[in-house]
Chains A and B, each alone.
Chain A
Amino acid sequence: MKRTIKKVAQFSALASMLALAACGGGGEQTSGEADGQATDGGVVKADIGVVSYLSGSGAAYGEAITSGLELALEEINAKGEVEINLIIEDSAGKQDQALTAAQKLMNSENVTALIGPTLSTEMNVVGPEADLNGVPTIGTSTTAEGIPQIGEYIFRNSLPEALAIPASIDKAIEKYDAKKVAILYGNDDVFTKSGFDTMKAAAEEKGLEILTIETFQKGQSDYNAQLTKIKGLNPDLILASALYNEGAVIMDQARKMGIDVPFVGGNGFNSPEVIEIAGDAADGLIVATPWYAEKDDPKVQEFVSKFEEKYGKKPDQFAAQAYDALYIYAEALKNAGSNDRDAFRDALAEVKITGILGDFAFDAEGDVIMTPTVLVIEDGAFKVFE
């Protein structure tokens, strides 16, 4: 293990030397400029690198993220407290391309910090490299277990499933006095499977009786057998770790056979598409979300209207999380007073802001401390669940 780390260190040192050598004069110029930036006129200037999923099947995520960042960038630079320059690179959702892009940003562009790759799988390769180079990195959409634990330079402001699912289960127990639950999940998808693990752990921790655990597969269209079994066991709640596409059909078939208990879903179930597909049957779905566009908060409403004006559509959670992330960076940069990577990292760990996602701070590991909003579908619309 030690030898591997050493090898990686050697390799990356070599790689960065090569990269520096390759850009020659250009590289020197950048660092010369960086020296001047920190002191000139009292305004801290910094280059921030962005690695995002901009082409391929998940390009919609990257588009939302960069839209949120650009909107925040305009506002932050207009305020004039700090001056940020974003350098955006495409990862195409691939681990190797994400790593190459991050290395380019860290070594030849000499950025102060990174705004992370889009997928958790990408972060798992970029994170260790950034941590080794001492480049602070924030994930805005990485929800898997263990991301901030990669190293002390790795942070995230995306709500992990481990926080979201227990929050919604808690509220549902409180409201419905639930004691018995049935769990239903897709067992051929990493995301829904990890959501199920979280659900099971949360249910056991709350002392709920798990009546049955049923599974289904992607693209299945008949869930009647599983649902009839669940119906016969009479649960107070159904915990469903499903993506919205399957989840909506499950709810529809459940309501049709007369199951009227509430459903608690994970992040993948949290989409307006559920209402589109299932209609009235979607009523009673409970999900926790970091982002709620209807929130009665002037900051949120201002962001929504600005975003709609600029991009012609409503911002989703990816845009909102990216928007807040850049504000977190701006705050850290202001407090650090320089664009030095280590000073920035220390200031970042201490940041506390109130963004459009609510009150925000990092815990000791660089993970999120926040209270998610729990929503429920009622009369065909998401409403705050109380």
Chain B
Amino acid sequence: MLIEQLINGLTLGSIYAIVALGFTLVFGVLGIINMAHGEIFMFGAFIGVMITSIFDAPLWVAFAAAILVTAILGYFLENFALRPLRSKQGVSHLAPLISTIGVSIFLENLSHHMFGAGNRPFEAPFAEINFQIGSITVYLVQIVIFVISILLMVALSFWLGKTKAGKALRATAENLETASLLGVDTKRIITMTVIIASAMGGIAGILVGMAFNSVNPQMGLSMGLKGLAIIILGGMGNVRGAMAGGLILGLAETFVVVYGDSGYKDAIAFLAIIVILLIRPQGLFGKKITT
């Protein structure tokens, strides 16, 4: 029982973490909250459903297609919703936030029209592979999700910390103009960041589709809000913080159900976040901002 719930919590937490990684990447570089991230994640899930159910294609094709489509969505997001606002004078710092909310509403309605309002099942044989340990059923997907989330975290940390592109990205995050004066192609860096974050949303979408066998146009909203809460909990723009925050929220939600009342699941999980933030306002891994 307890071990099964632990697995449930880790699976949910890993998914939250992957969603939050996408959030934190965009926030870290651009300093904006990308409210369309949840919907891009939902689109990735739908692409996976379509590829596997309509074209009967193998899973790796579904992954490739979802990554491709969400990357393209990310490119459009940057080009049409974010960049035009960045280059103009006198634009409110809240404008990009509102603009991404607009994109999220557009994408949700678009998927309503394209895929219908109901739940779509994810028909992949891979999602059925499981093994028994005693009375516990463990699905391979659950393990894969956990591993992918760890891999993504490690890869992102390495990329940001050690590679040249990562350093350029951090320089851009520090100061756009200075980085550009030092020879960093900031336009390219920003576009690349949004694309990578979106593609990670797409990966998370497919994983959720396989784990829970449920994909619908509304799933982006709740996932997006959870992702937002997690990056605040973990520390804005911090990769390890997103991972830890995701796991904490996933486990907290699961164990509220185990030991308490499922009706208070979200309430208690978010209450925990508020308490943590009262003690550490900068988030778990965030740095204190000194002025």
Contacts and interface: CB of A to CB of B under 8 A. Distances in A.
Interface of A: 187, 214-226, 228-229, 231-232, 245-246, 248-249, 252-253, 256-258, 273, 277-279
A192 to B, nearest CB: 13
A215 B4 CA distance: 19
B8 A221 contact: no
B124 interface: no
25 contacts: A214-B257, A219-B216, A219-B218, A219-B221, A221-B212, A221-B215, A222-B212, A224-B254, A225-B8, A225-B9, A225-B253, A225-B258, A225-B262, A226-B262, A228-B5, A228-B8, A228-B258, A229-B257, A245-B119, A249-B212, A252-B214, A253-B212, A256-B213, A258-B137, A273-B118
A314 to B, nearest CB: 18
A277 B118 contact: yes
Contacts of B213: 249, 252-253, 256
| Main SS class of interface, A | helix
A228 B262 CA distance: 12
Interface string B69-85: 00000000000000000
Interface of B: 1, 4-5, 8-9, 11-12, 118-121, 130, 137, 139, 208, 211-216, 218-219, 221-222, 253-254, 257-258, 261-263, 265-266
Contacts of A220: 222
Contact of B119 (A215, A223, A248): A248
Best-surrounded residue of B213, B253, B258 (most CB of chain A within 10 A) = B213
A117 B82 CA distance: 47
Contacts of A278: 121
A214 B264 CA distance: 10
Contacts of B216: 219, 221, 245
Contacts of A273: 118
Contacts of A226: 257, 262
Contacts of A232: 1
Contact of B254 (A225, A231, A246, A277): A225
Nearest to A249: B214
A249 B221 CA distance: 18
A257 B212 CA distance: 11
A190 B28 CA distance: 42
A256 B221 CA distance: 26
Contacts of A257: 4, 137
Contacts of A279: 121
A252 B216 CA distance: 15
A219 B222 contact: yes
A79 B205 CA distance: 59
Contacts of B218: 218-219
A221 B137 contact: no
A259 to B, nearest CB: 10
Contact of A256 (B5, B137, B215, B261): B137
A297 B213 CA distance: 38
Nearest to B121: A277
Contacts of B219: 219, 221
B262 A256 contact: no
Contacts of B121: 252, 277-279
B263 A224 contact: no
Contacts of A228: 1, 4-5, 8, 258
A225 B5 contact: yes
B212 to A, nearest CB: 4
**4 smallest A-B Cβ distances: which pairs?**
A225-B257, A219-B218, A249-B214, A224-B8
B212 A215 contact: no
Contacts of B8: 222, 224-225, 228
Nearest to B11: A224
Contacts of A216: 262
Nearest to A248: B119
Given A224-B12, A228-B5, A231-B4, 5 more contacts: A215-B261, A222-B12, A249-B119, A249-B212, A277-B118
Contacts of A215: 261-263
